[in-house]
Structure 1
Amino acid sequence: MSEPVLPKPVRIAGIVFASLLGAAIIGSIAALAWIGTRGAAAYGHLRAAETTVHAVIDDLSDPTSAAGLIDDLAADTGAAHDLTSDPIWAAAERVPWLGPQLEAVSTIAAAADDIATTALPPLADVASSFSLDDFRPAGGAIDTALFESIAEPARIGADSVAAAAASVGHLDGNLLLGPVRDAVDEVSGLLDSSATATDALARATELLPPMLGADGPRDYLIIFQNNAEWRSLGGLVGAMALIHTSDGTMEMTAQASASGDFPKYSEAVIPLSDEVTKIYGTRPAQWMHNVTQLPDFSLSGQIAREMWLREMGTEVDGVIAMDPVALSYLLEATGPITLTSGDVLTADNAVQLLLNDVYKRYPEPADQDEFFALAAASVFDALSTGAADPATLVQALGRAGDERRLLIWSAIADDQDVLTGTTLAGGLPETTRQTARMGVYLNDGTGSKMDYYVTADTTLGWESCTLDADGRATGQTTLTLTLTNTAPEDAATSLPDYITGAGAYVQPEGTARTVAYIYLPEGYDLTTATVTGSNGFGGGFHDGRQVLTFSSDLPPGESVTAVIGVQAPEPAAAAVIAEITPTIDAEVPSTVKSSCDPG
C-alpha cells in the first residue's frame, strides 16, 4: 500500500513541527550542558565564598579584620552570580522539578553577591581608619564621634544582609532535593545570624552616642539581679548603682541596696493592667526586690525608675539590668580584679562568690549588698578607665545580650524605639510568621537563695508534624519543663538560714518552692497541660498570650515535670522557640528551639 499523500499545508506543518522538535531537543541538550558547566563553576565559587563568608562574619565585631577578606569574597560571589543569572539559566528555572533547584542556586549566589558588594564595603571603608582599640576611654572619655562615623554604613550593611536573608528564606524547601535543601538551610542560618549581628551593630552605633551623653548628660540606674533567688527576667534585685554620662565620660555617682534603701510601698507605684494584676498581683510594683518578676522589662524599668525617684530624688533616663553571670563575661575582658576585701574576682569564680559564698560569709543582708556593690564598682572602674580588652568586651556584651542577661529600658522614646525588638529590650515573647515564641519564667517562692541549687531543664518537640506547600507547619508542639533541687540532703542543717530561708515560707528547711509562668504563643491553643507533684495550673492572659502558672515544693533530690502542648488553629510557623529565665549556669541555654521536620 502506498503511503497516503497529505495535503500540502499539513505536510509543511509536520515538517516545521519536526524541525522545531529536533531543535528543541538539541537545544535542551545544549542548555543542560550549558547549565551544568556553569553550575559546576558557580558551585566552586560559592564554596570558596562560603569559607570567606565564615571568616568575615566571625570578624564582624572587628570590621578592620574583615576588610581584607571582602575583595576575595566579592570576586567569588560576583562570578557565581554571573554564572547563574544568564537568560538560559533564568528560562530553566521555570522547568518543573529542575527549576526550583536552579532557582535556589541563583538566589544564594545573588544574596551572597549583594552582601559582598553592598553590605560589607561601606563598613570596610570606615573600618580602615580605626580599630577597636580606638574605643578605649582616653582621658576618662569615649570618643562618641567614632560611633557616629559608622552609623550610616552600619545601617546600609544591616539592611542589605536582612534583604539577602529574606530572599533565601522565601525559598520553598519542599520543592528541593535533599542536598540542595540542606545547603539552603545552612546558608539561611548563616544569613540569619549575620543579619542579627549587623542589625545589632547598626542599632549600637545609633544608641550609644546619646547614652554616653553626646547630646547632653544622662543618668542610668543599673540594677543587679541575683539568680540565686529567681525572678522571671533573672533574679531578685539587690544592689543598684547610678551612672552619670556626659560627653563620653561615665561616672558612678550613687549606690543603693534594695534591702536597706527601699520600703514596701502601700500600693503599686505605677498603674498595672487588670491582666497583669490577676496573674502577678501588685507586688512587682510594691517591692524593688520584685520588679523583674514581670517578664516585660519595659514595665520593670518604669517601676524601678519611679521607686528610685521616690527614694533618691533622681529621675533617671533609663534602667539597665545585669546579673553575676553577665558580670563574669565582663571579667573575661577586664581580667582578674582585686577587691578591697582582699578577694580576687575572676570570670571563673564570680558566680559562686557572689551568689553562694557571700551568704555563707555574711549573715546580714546589708553586708551582702555592700559586697555586691563593691564588686560592681570595681568592675565598672576597670571598664571606665579602659582596662578591658575592647574585642573581648564586645563579645562579652554580645553574649550577655543574646542570653537576656543584659537588659535596657530607656525613658527616651527614640532610644526605646531602637531597642524594641531586640533581646536587650526584654520584651514578652513575640510570635511572627516564621517563628512562634513561648516564655518559661521562673520565680522563687521560698524567700531564700535556694535557687542556686535548683536546675531547670526545658525541651521542645513536635508531634504529627506536617508542612504544606508554603512551608507552614501543622502539628502539636510540646514543651517539657523539669525542675530539680540538687541541694545536699542535709541542706536544712548544712546550709545557712539565709540560703534555706529558715522555714519562713516553706517547711521543712532545704525545700525549694518555685512559681512558674508559662506563656503560650499568641493565637495558639492549649492542647495538653500536666504537672507532677503540684496542685495543677492557674493562669490568665497577658497582652494576647495565654499564661499558665503552677508552683512546686521540692525537697533536696526531688524533681517536678510540667508538660505543655500547644497548636495553632491553622498552619503556622515551622519553628518554635521557648525563652527561659536565665539561671546561674551559663551552659544551660536561655532559649531552646524546635523546627518541624517531617523527615
Structure 2
Amino acid sequence: MPKKNVIKKSALAPTALIAGGAGFIGSHLCEALLSRGARVIVLDNFNTGKDIHINHLLQNPNFALYNVDINSGLPPEIESVDYIFHMAGLEEYLFSKELVNLTALLTNAVGTKNLLDLAQRSNAKFLLASSIDVYEGRMSQLELEEYFGSNKIDENKYMLTEAKRYAEALVWEYYKKNDTDLRIVRLPEIYGPRMDLSSSGSLGTFMRDLIEHRNITVTGEGSNKEYYLYISDAVSGILKALFNENSKGTIYSLVWHQPTSVLQLAYLVKNVADREVEIIFKNDEGQSSYKPAPKIPDLFNLTQLGWDPRVELKEGLVKSLEYFGYKSNVHSFKPAELIENKAGVESVVTSTIAPAEELFSLQDVKSMSPIVQAPSAVTQPPQPVTASPAPVSTVPTFGNNAEIANFKTAQPKIKKSRPSVFAAFPFLNKFRSVAFLSFLGVFISALLIFLVLPIAQTYFYVRASSTALNSLATSVGQLDSEGVRVNARASYKNLVKAKNSFENLKWVFVVTNKKDQFESTDKLISSLAHFSKSGYTLAEAIKPFENLWEVVRPDTTTELDPTSFENVKTQVEVSKNSFQLAVADFKNVNTAVLPAMVQEKAVEYSKTLEIVSKGLDMAVPVLSSFPNILGADQSKKYMILFQNSNEIRPTGGFIGSYGLLTFEKGKIKDLVIDDIYNPDGQIDLKGISVAPSEQIKTFLNEDKLHIRNANWDPDFPTSANTISDLYYRVTGEKLDGIIAVDLYFVQNILRATGPIFLTAYNEEINAENLYERAEYHSEFNYVNGSDSKRSFLTVLGGKLMEKIFSLSREQLPQLLAEMGYALNDRHLLITFSNDPINELLKVNNWDGGLVNTTSDYLYVVNANLGGTKANYFVKNNLNYQVVSVTRDGLLRGVLTLNYDHTGTDSAWPGGPYKDYVRVYTQNGAKLTGAKIKVNEGEAKDIFKDIVVSTDGNYITFGTSFTLNPTEKLALTLEFDLPAEFTISKENKEYALYWQKQSGTQIDEYRFSFDVPFGHTVNNITEGLTVAENVITSSGVLNTDQKFYVKLQ
C-alpha cells in the first residue's frame, strides 16, 4: 500500500507513531488519537493488519501510512515524533508457526529496538503493548518446538509470549541505561468491533458458533478462566498510561478484577442468542488439557493511573455481535441459576451498561517519578526445565471447582462445642449475675455512643475533608471551576459534620484537663470549614480563566468574553468574607497544644492562608486588567527579552534575543523571535543616537546606546522604558509592555514543558543541560543587520514559546507554579505601559524594580562588560557584617564580595571576567573604606577609586575589576549606616532588606549583626541564630532576604 501522506513533527500538534496501527487494536487507537487532534503515522507490514481497518482514515490530512516492516528499519522521512505506540506483533500467533518464529520474534526484538532508538533520538514517550500471558508459562519435557503445547495455536501463542517477555526486558534495559521515557501495558484478550473471531479466546469461538447458527461447544468442564477487555476500555487505558504524568518506567495490567470462566462465557452467549441454543460439553480426552489457572495480574497502580474498565462483558458482547450483523436478544438474559445434567452449577453473570470513558489528554507531560516496576517474568532468570503435569485422561467432575460447584449432601452437621470462658477462669463466676451483666452492657453501650462513635465519626469526616481539599487544590491549579465547586462543597459538609461530632467529645477534654486543646482543635476545624466555603464561592471567579488557555492559543477558534471577568468580581468579595472568617478562627488556634501530627498540618495550613490571602487581594485587579492585557478592545504588543545569565547584566543578563508577542481580541495574533542585533543594526543604519552610560561608553567603547546594552539600570521599569523608546525610534511602533526572562526561568519552564529538540543544532535541550549548552553555543562575532546568524537563545526561545502554547490544561498547574517561583526569585520581570496592574506587580516585587524600604538596604549589582560568558565559571560569595563601632550606637556595614573564577584558561566563551559592580544602600550612608585583594596578595586600598552616586532613594558605591581564570578576588567596602539606624534608648530595632540580582541563583551569602555592648536580644526573625552575642544567617541568595532584630 503506498504512502498517502507525510507528517512533520510540530510543537502545536502532537505527532504519534503507531507500529501495527492497521491491526484490530491499533486501528481503534488511530481513531481515538485523530479525534483528539493528533497527527498519526502508522507503520504496518499487513501480516495481521488489514486495509479495511484504516482505509477510511486515508483521506484525513493528519494521517499517514507506511507499508513497512519495522524489523528492516524505519522510513527515513520520519525524523522525530512526540509519541510511539508499539502495537506490532500482538496477534501473530493466529497465523503460521513459521511466521511466529521469524516475524513475531524479530518484531519484539529488532523492531522494538528500532522504535526505542527513535524514541531516544526524538525524546518521544514510548509505550509497549504486551500481554498478561507473560505471567504464564510451563516447562515442557518435550522438544523445544512443543515448549508450550502440542496444538499449533497454543504453541504459537505462547511462543509469542516469550517474545513479549524479551521485548519487555529490552524496554527495561533502555529505561535503566538511557532513562528513556517509556512504559509497558499488558493486555488480556481484547474483543469488540473488528476483532478476529479466531482469536479472543473462547469468547471468539462461541460468538462464531452463534453467528453461524451452531450450538455452543464447551471442551472439558468449562472451568478454565480468562480475562476479557472491551476495545474502548483497552484504548482508554493505553492512552492514560502514555499520558499520565507519573507513568514513566511503570508497568500496567489492564484487566477486570476477576477473570471469567469458560462456562460463564458459554451461558452469557447463550442468553443473548436470538434462538434456542444448546450448550454441548465435549470430552477433551486425548488432547492437551494443560490450561494453567490465570495468575492475578498486579493491579496496585491502576488507581494511580485513574483507569477503570467501563464496559461490562454483556454490553461489550452485544456491541461486538452487532458489528458482525447479529441482532442479540438483550431482554432474555437475567442473572439466574445455570443448571445442566452433567453437574449442578450456579453461575451469575451480571451486566451494568456504562458509557465508554472519554479519552485522556494527548499533551506531553514531563515526569520525574521513580520507576515502579510490576513483578513479572521480565527480570526473572530462566528456571530449570521440569517435567510437565501428567495429562488428564478423563473428564473431571465439577466438584473441585469452588466457583461453579454448589452440591448439597445428606451428611449431618457436626456441632463443635467451645469451652466457656467461665469454665476456663472460675474466678469470673461471681460476676455472672444478671445485674452485673446488665450494668456491663450499659457501660459498653455508653462508651460506644459517647466516646468511640464520636471519635470514629470525627476521624472519618476529617479524612474525607482532607481528601476533598487535596482534590480542591488540584482543581484550582487546573482552573477547573466545577472541580473546585464539587470538592469545596464536599469538604465543607464533612467539616461541619466533623465539628458536630467533635463537640460531643468536649467532656473528655474537660475531664482530662485539656480544654485548651479542645478549643484550638475546634477552631481549627471551624477555620477549615470557612476556608472550604470560601473556595466554593471562589469557583465562580475561576470560570473566566477556565478556558483562557484555549482562547489565547492561535490554533483554536474560542473567543474571549471580556464581560465574564467583570461579572465575577462580586463572587470574589463574597469569597473574601468567608476567608476572613477562616483567618479569624485560625488566629484563635494555639498550635502548641495540638498533637504533633496536627501541628505540622496546621503550619502548612497557615502558609496556605497567607498564599490565598495574597491571591484574593490580587484577584480584583487581575480581573480588571486581564481583558485589556489580552487586547480585548485593541491590539497589544509585548516585547520579551531573553537575557543570557552567563553574561550577567543589571536586570539579569546580556540581551541577545527578543520576541514580539501580539494579542488581538484575546488571541495570539503573532509571535516573532529574533536576534537583538537586527534592530540594533537599524540603530546604526538610521543614525539613532542616544547617549549610553559612562560605563558602557568606557568599557565597551560604544558612543551610542543599543537595545542590547539598554538594561543598564537595575530598576527594570526604568530600563524597560529606555528599551521601549529605542524600539519606537527604530520601528515607529509602541510597546504595551516588556517581559524579561533569564536562563534560570527557561530552565524552570523546561521542567514543566519537558525537553525541546532543536533541529538547527541537532540536539535536545532540557533543564539539566541548558546552562552548559547555552555556554557551549555562545557566539562572539555577530554581524549587524538582518543577515546575521540566528543565535542559540533565539532558536531556543522560539521553540520554547511554541511548546508553552501547546501545553494542555492538565499541565498548567506545573507551568503556573514555575512562573510563580520565577516571579518571586526575580527570573521573570514584567512591566506594562500605563496599566493599573503595574501597582500590583510593584507591591509584590514582580516588576524587577528597586524595592522601597525605610530599613537598611543592600543590593549588589554586577555587570559583565568584557564581552565574555565568564559568569558560567565565576562563583560569588557575599558577606555583610553590621557592627557597632562607637559608644553612641552608630552602626557600620562591612561588605565583602568574594569572586572565584573556576575557569582554567582564556578560551572563548570563558576568559577574563571584567566586572563593574555597584552596591546600593540607604541614602545617608557614608563610605569609610574600600580594599581589593587578589588571591593571597596584599590588600590594595581603592577608596579613591570608588564612584559614589545617588539613584532615587539610594546611594551607590561603584568600581570595576578584571578577574582572570583560576584567580580569586575579595572586594571589601566599609560604610557607616545613616544616623536614623543608630541603636539608642529610643531605637532598639534593626531591620535589613537584602535584594538579590536578577539572573543569579546560586550566590552564597552570610549576614551577621554584632549586638552592641550593653544590649541583649529580645526578638529575631525566623532563620536568624544567636551565638556569643552575634546574630547570623547564611545560605543561598536565591530570593530577597529580610531580617529583623529587636534588642533590649
Matched residues in 2 for 1:71 and 1:288: separation?
Answer: 53
- Residue type of the partner of 2:955? Q
Q: Residue 429 of structure 1: SS of its match in structure 2?
A: coil
CA distance in 2, matches of 1:305, 1:408: 13
Please, which moves more after superposition, 47-56 or 574-583?
Answer: 47-56
Alignment of 1:267-282 (within 5 A): 267-268=690-691
Q: How far apart in 1 are the matches of 2:501 and 2:471? A: 24
Paired residues of 2:638 and 2:737 also in contact (CA < 8 A): yes
Residue 193 of structure 1 and its aligned partner are, at CA, apart by 3.1
Query: Does structure 2 retain, via aligned residues, the 8 Å contact 1:141–1:249?
Result: no
Q: Secondary structure at the match of 1:420?
A: helix
Whether the 8 Å contact between 1:223 and 1:320 is mirrored in structure 2 is yes
The reply to whether residue 286 of structure 1 matches residue 708 of structure 2 is no
Residue 714 (structure 2) pairs with residue 295 (structure 1): yes
1:580 pairs, out of 997, 1000, 1005, with: 997
| Structure 1 residue aligned with 2:569 | 152
2:969 alignment partner AA: S
Measured in 1, the distance between the counterparts of 2:468 and 2:881 equals 35
Where does residue 611 of structure 2 map in the other structure?
Answer: 193
Q: Deviations over 1:88-112 (max 9, x none)?
A: xxxxxxxxxx999999999877765
Distance of 1:204 and 1:582 partners within structure 2: 27
In structure 2, the CA distance between the partners of 1:586 and 1:564, relative to structure 1 (3 Å rule), is closer
Give the stretch that moved more between structures: 562-571 or 417-426.
562-571
Question: Is the Cα contact below 8 Å between 1:452 and 1:584 reproduced in 2?
Answer: no
Partner in structure 2 of residue 230 of structure 1 = 648
Look up the SS of the partner of 2:633 in the other structure. coil
State the partner residue of 1:390.
Answer: 812
The aligned residue for residue 218 of structure 1 is 636
Instruction: Determine the structure 2 residue equivalent to 1:118.
Output: 534
User: In the TM superposition, what are the counterparts of 1:359-438 in structure 2 within 5 Å?
Assistant: 359=778, 363-364=781-782, 367=788, 369-385=790-806, 389-431=811-853, 438=858
Contact 1:462 1:596 in 2 (8 A): no
Kept after mapping to 2: 8 A contact 1:143/1:248: yes
What's 1:137 paired with? Answer: 553
Give percent identity, aligned residues only.
17
Q: CA deviation at 1:324?
A: 2.8
Measure, in 1, the Cα distance between the counterparts of 2:772 and 2:488: 45
Instruction: Report the 3-state secondary structure (helix = DSSP H, G, I; strand = E; otherwise coil) of the residue aligned with 1:517.
Output: strand
Amino acid across the alignment from 2:534? T
Greater alpha carbon shift after TM alignment, 375-384 vs 225-234? 375-384
CA, structure 1 residues 370+581, in 2 after alignment: closer, same or farther (shift >3 Å)? closer
Asked if structure 1 preserves the Cα contact closer than 8 Å seen for 2:533 and 2:578, the reply is no
Which residue of 1 is the match for residue 1039 of structure 2?
591
The one-letter amino acid paired with 1:487 is T
| Bigger radius of gyration among the two | 2
Asked whether the equivalents of residues 989 and 1046 of structure 2 are also in contact (C-alpha less than 8 Å), the reply is no
Call closer, same or farther: CA 1:539–1:133 in 2, change over 3 Å. Answer: same
* Residue in 1 that maps onto 2:478: 62
Residue identity opposite 2:952 in structure 1: D
Q: What is the CA distance between 1:312 and its match in structure 2?
A: 1.7
* CA pair 145-42 structure 1, distance change in 2 beyond 3 A: same
The correspondence of residues 12-23 of structure 1 with structure 2, limited to 5 A, is none
Q: Secondary structure at the match of 2:795?
A: helix
Partner-residue secondary structure (3-state), 2:899 = strand
* Aligned amino acid, residue 996 of structure 2: E
Q: 1:460 to 1:586 in 2, by over 3 A?
A: closer
TM-aligned CA deviation for residue 253 of structure 1: 4.8
Per-residue deviation, residues 520-558 of structure 1 (Å, max 9, x unmatched): 3x5786798765437244333322223333434322231
1:68-120 deviation digits (Å, cap 9, x = unpaired) = 543465468769999999xxxxxxxxxxxx99999999987776555333355
Where do 1:251-330 residues align within 5 Å? Answer: 251-253=670-672, 255-258=674-677, 259-263=680-684, 266-268=689-691, 286-330=705-749
Question: In the alignment, is the contact (CA less than 8 A) between 1:324 and 1:354 conserved in 2?
Answer: no
Q: 1:69 to 1:541 in 2, by over 3 A?
A: farther
Deviations 1:356-386 (A, max 9, x none): 11126x7446656543322222222333455
Q: Alpha carbons of 1:42 and 1:185: their partners in 2 closer, same or farther (altered >3 Å)?
A: same
Determine the structure 2 residue equivalent to 1:544: 953
Q: Is the 8 A contact 1:119 1:156 kept in 2?
A: no
| Higher RCO, Cα 8 Å, sep 6+ | 1
* Aligned-partner Cα distance in 1 for 2:953–2:577: 33
Give the counterpart of 2:866 among 446, 453, 456: 446
Greater mean alpha carbon deviation, residues 58-67 or residues 414-423: 58-67
Secondary structure of the residue aligned to 2:829 is: strand
2:919 match: 518
Which residue matches 1:5? none
RMSD, aligned α-carbons: 5.5
How far apart are residue 596 of structure 1 and its match?
A: 3.8
- 1:357 alignment counterpart: 776
Q: Residue type of the partner of 2:674?
A: Q
* Distance in 2 (alpha carbons) for counterparts of 1:111 and 1:549: 52
Query: Which of 899, 904, 911 lines up with 1:484 in the alignment?
Result: 899
Q: Residues 355 and 452 of structure 1 are in contact (CA less than 8 Å); yes or no, is this contact kept in structure 2?
A: no
- By how many angstroms is 1:514 displaced? 2.2
Q: Deviations over 1:300-326 (max 9, x none)?
A: 111111101111221122222112322
Q: Which amino acid aligns with 1:412?
A: N
Task: Please list the CA deviations of residues 123-179 of structure 1 after superposition, one character each: whole Å capped at 9, or x if unmatched.
Answer: 2675699578756726346643397278627853885699679979999x9x999x9
Cα distance in 2 for residues equivalent to 1:284 and 1:73: 65
**CA distance change for structure 1 residues 529 and 399 in 2, over 3 Å: closer, same or farther?**
farther
The CA deviation string for residues 331-352 of structure 1, in whole angstroms up to 9 with x for no partner, is 3343333334143443326633
Q: Cα distance 1:261–1:82, how it changes in 2: closer, same or farther (>3 A)?
A: farther
Alpha-carbon separation, structure 2, partners of 1:58 and 1:563: 49
What secondary structure, in the 3-state scheme, does the structure 1 residue paired with 2:778 have? helix
Q: In the TM superposition, what whole-angstrom CA distance separates every residue of 1:179-216 from its partner, at most 9, and x where no partner exists?
A: 99999977654433333445556554444332222122
Q: Quote the Cα distance in structure 1 between the aligned partners of 2:515 and 2:881.
A: 33
Residues 1:477 and 1:593: Cα distance change in structure 2 (over 3 Å) = farther
TM-score, L = length of structure 1: 0.67
**Distance of aligned partners of 1:82 and 1:394 in 2 relative to their CA distance in 1, 3 Å threshold:** same
8 Å Cα contact 2:899/2:970 also seen in 1: yes
Question: Which has more helix, going by share of residues?
Answer: 1
* Pair 1:375–1:165, CA change in 2 (3 A): farther
- Give, as a single letter, the amino acid of the residue that structure 2 aligns with 1:548: F
Match in the other structure for 2:319? none
Amino acid corresponding to residue 804 of structure 2 in structure 1: L
Deviates more, 1:542-551 or 1:127-136: 127-136
The whole-number CA distance in structure 1 between the counterparts of 2:629 and 2:728 is: 19
Alpha-carbon distance, 1:235 to partner? 1.0
In structure 2, the residue matched to 1:553 is: 962
Amino acid in structure 1 at the alignment position of 2:1000: T
Gaps of 5+ in 1: 1-40, 86-97, 465-473, 501-509
| 1:329 to partner: Cα distance | 2.8
Q: Give, as a single letter, the amino acid of the residue that structure 2 aligns with 1:375.
A: L
Change (3 A) 1:436 1:451: same
After superposition, where does 1:328-339 map in structure 2 within 5 Å?
A: 328-339=747-758
User: SS of 2:999's equivalent?
Assistant: coil
SS at 2:747's partner residue?
helix
Name the CA distance, whole Å, in 1 between partners of 2:500 and 2:894: 46
**Do 2:479 and 2:545's aligned partners in 1 also have CA atoms closer than 8 Å?**
no
SS at match of 1:580: coil
Kindly tell me: are residues 188 and 529 of structure 1, through their superposed partners in 2, closer, same or farther at Cα, counting changes over 3 Å? farther
How far apart, in 2, do the equivalents of 1:165 and 1:524 lie? 44
Shift of 1:55: 7.3
Call closer, same or farther: CA 1:50–1:348 in 2, change over 3 Å.
same
Give the distance between the partners of 1:319 and 1:230, measured in 2 at CA: 19
Structure 2 segments unaligned to the other structure (5+ residues): 1-456, 504-513, 934-939, 1005-1035
Structure 2 CA distance for partners of 1:167 and 1:333, relative to 1, 3 Å = same
Contact 1:232 / 1:441 at 8 angstroms: preserved in 2? yes
